[in-house]
Structures are given as structure tokens and as C-alpha cells.
Amino acid sequence: MPAFWVIAEHNADGSLARISAEAATLARSLAAAAGGDSEAAGIVVAADPGHAAEQLAVYLPRVVAVADAAAAGHAWAVLAAERAAAVIGDAPDAVIILGAGPDGRDVAGMLAALGGRGVLVNATGAAWDGRLTVEMSVFGGKLITTSGFTAAGGIVTLRPNTVTAEVGPAAGTVERRSAAGEPSIPLVAVLDQVAEVGAAAPIEEARIIVSGGRGVGSPEGFDLVREIAAELGGAVGATRAAVDSGWVPYSQQIGQTGKIVKPQLYLALGISGAIQHKVGMQTAETIVAVNRDPDSPIAEFADLLVVGDLFEVGRAMLVALRARSG
């Protein structure tokens, strides 16, 4: 019976990344569905993995924490891939789950090459049905495919907000190990870590996203977008037009060349809904748009479209929201 492994990511402060709690929840439910002696386990690789490992053990019966001093001054993916490969071994029936963000992708690609394993990417769902079946959304959301591995196992990258993280019945064990041996892939030195002002919470994980487009018109215009996001407890997103204009950092861009998000609410202000933007946000559970053009493409896939000026409607919305909470 297969083993389901999660290779966990951690935040800059050493805490567990939310996507990894989601991946762990999925691994646990797949192992339960597969039955027999299948197990779910996690791996944390960091200079000091303790904190993230304890947090991961809330979701999984077993966590291997690999302390690797090299992780302090070097890019993480190589170390994570090599150390995880050593823990997992070459069992062909291992199912390895990672987040579909930049770090998870890097590790997935390396692990696939090191172990000759198959990869199913950007999963929007996974189930055990005598075998692992993985759903993904393709062709700009026009089609949902279900795929499997031809071998007993493989690697899955999981989209954020696909699974709701739920703690396990009992806290798991944390097994501490130290890294052994030189990695076969060259390490890349991290000379400096720079925090940029205005870098916001990762939008892939946000439950609510308030997004602005060209219609917002200026960097100052985004203050209103930020205010509404703060009032709703959400994150700020943007179209490429807004990013290219320099109003918002690229990290907030949603769409084909930006991030793919799946929030519960997507509030689009001054966004036309071009196909390249749509592919990044169309699986939001609820889409609300404010646009002065009733014929913009977003009118075809929003749940609610308010025809009007985004500044007027946005300010009135703030008043209404504050009155409600006040």
C-alpha cells in the first residue's frame, strides 16, 4: 500500500506554510481512503525545522524533520529535493504532494528528475478510487481532466484553497534527523534577503481578494482597493495592466503570467476580464465586479456586476461596510 508524503514549505519566520497544512490534510485523507497499511507522513527541511515540524505534526501522524545547516545560506529547493529523496527512498508507490507555488514547483521538478517519477500538476482535487485520481483544470478553465499515474505512485502539485486544512485526530510524532552527504545538484548561494515595502500577504492563499485593474487609474487609486481589502479582511490583487503601470508589485498579479487564485470572493474593480486575466481567477467561488462598461467581458462570468464608477461605488461600499460592522 502506498505511502503519502508531504514535503512541507515554511514561511520566512520558520512557521508552516498554509499550503502545506492543506497538502497534509489531503495526504491524511488519501491514506485513510487507501486503507491497509498506507501511511501519511511529512518532511520538513530547514536549517531549524523544529517549529514547522511541530505544526505539521498537528495534521499528520508522522513527521521527519531534517535539520540542514546549508539551508541558512542557500536556495531551499535543491536541499529540500535531495533530503526528501533520501527520506522517501526509491519506493515506486510513494505519492508525494507539494504546493503548486514557486517553491513546491521547483522541488517537484527536481524530485521528478532525480527519481524518474511522474508528475500531475496544479491539482484541483484528488481522490483514492482503488488508485490515485487527480483532477486539474485545463485550457483556461474550459475543461476538467482526471488523470492517474501509470506507476503505483508519483508527484502531485496541489493548488492552494483546494483542500480545507483540518487537524488530525491526535498529534503525530516528530522524528529529528540531520542532513547527511553532499547534494548532487549544485547549491545556489543566497547573498541577501530583501523585504520590499508593500509586499502583501500571498494572494494564492487569500479567502477574499479585492483586485484592481486599469480602471483604478493611478497608484493613489489603489489606496481605495487596499482600504476595501482591509475592511473585508482580504488581500489585494491586480491585472497585468495595473502591474505594468507600476501601481502594484508583480507579486499581486493574477492571470496567465501571474498567479492562479481560487478565493471564496473575488471583487474586481475596473477590470475588463480579458481571457489572460480570467484564467487566473475564474474558479473563485463568487465573483463580484464593478465596471462602468456593462459590455466588458467580465459581465459574462461575474455573479454580480454593478455598472458604475468604481470610486463612487467603492467609497459607498466602505461606508456601508463600516456602518454594518460599526
Partner 1 sequence: MHIVVLTKPVPDPAAAAERLGPDGRLDRAASPSVVNGNDEYALEAALKLTEAHGGEVSLLTMAPAGATDTMRKALAMGATRGVLVTDPALAGSCVRSTVQVLAAALRDLTFDLVFAGADTSDGGGGIVAAGVAALLRLPYLSNAARIEPDPVSGRVQVRRITATGYDLLEAPMPALVVCTQVLGEPRYPSLKGIMSARSKEIATRSLGDLGLSAEAVGGTVATTQLLGTRRPPARGATQVVRGSAEEGAREIVAFLESRRLI
Pick out residues in 132-151 that bind partner 1 (CB under 8 A).
133, 136-151
Burial class from Cβ neighbours inside 10 Å (0-12, 13-18, 19+) for residue 148 reads: middle
Is residue 258 part of the contact set for ligand FAD (CB under 6 A)? Answer: yes
Select from 248, 292, 249, 286 the least CA-distant residue to 271.
292
Provide the mask over 168-207, with x wherever binding to partner 1 is found by CB under 8 A and - wherever it is not: ----------------xxxxxxxxxxxxx--x--x-----
Long-range CB contacts for residues 136-144, cutoff 8 Å, separation at least 24 = 137/283, 140/275, 140/278, 140/279, 141/278, 141/279, 141/282, 141/283
> Which one of residues 116, 169, 181, 246 is an interface residue with partner 1 (CB under 8 A)?
116
> Which one of residues 277, 282, 287, 288 is an interface residue with ligand FAD (CB under 6 A)?
277
Is residue 237 part of the contact set for ligand FAD (CB under 6 A)? Answer: no
3-state class (DSSP) for residue 94:
coil
Nearer to partner 1, 192 or 220 (CB): 192
What does each C-alpha distance from 279 to 94, 98, 187, 255 come to in angstroms?
32, 22, 35, 6
Site for partner 1 in 294-323 (CB under 8 A): 294, 299-309, 312-317, 319-321
Question: Phi/psi of residue 175, each to 5°?
Answer: -105, 115
Nearer to ligand FAD, 187 or 299 (CB): 299
- Direct distance between the N- and C-terminal alpha carbons of the chain, in angstroms, rounded to an integer: 55
Site for ligand FAD in 200-229 (CB under 6 A): 213-215
Is residue 271 part of the contact set for ligand FAD (CB under 6 A)? Answer: yes
Provide the mask over 111-150, with x wherever binding to ligand FAD is found by CB under 6 A and - wherever it is not: ----------------------------------------
Is residue 48 part of the contact set for ligand FAD (CB under 6 A)? Answer: no
Nearer to partner 1, 149 or 222 (CB): 149
Is residue 28 part of the contact set for ligand FAD (CB under 6 A)? Answer: no
| Residue count of the chain | 326
Site for ligand FAD in 286-315 (CB under 6 A): 290-293, 296, 309-311
242's contact among partner 1, ligand FAD, none, with CB below 5 to 8 A by partner kind, is ligand FAD
* Contact yes or no for 102/211 (Cβ under 8 A): no
Select from 19, 17, 15, 20 the least CA-distant residue to 5.
20
Nearer to ligand FAD, 50 or 249 (CB): 249
Helix or strand holding residue 22 (H, E): helix 18-34
User: How many Å apart are CA 262 and CA 207, to the nearest integer?
Assistant: 8
> Which one of residues 100, 225, 261, 281 is an interface residue with partner 1 (CB under 8 A)?
100
Q: Which residues lie near ligand FAD (CB under 6 A)?
A: 213-215, 239-242, 253-258, 270-272, 274, 276-277, 280, 290-293, 296, 309-311
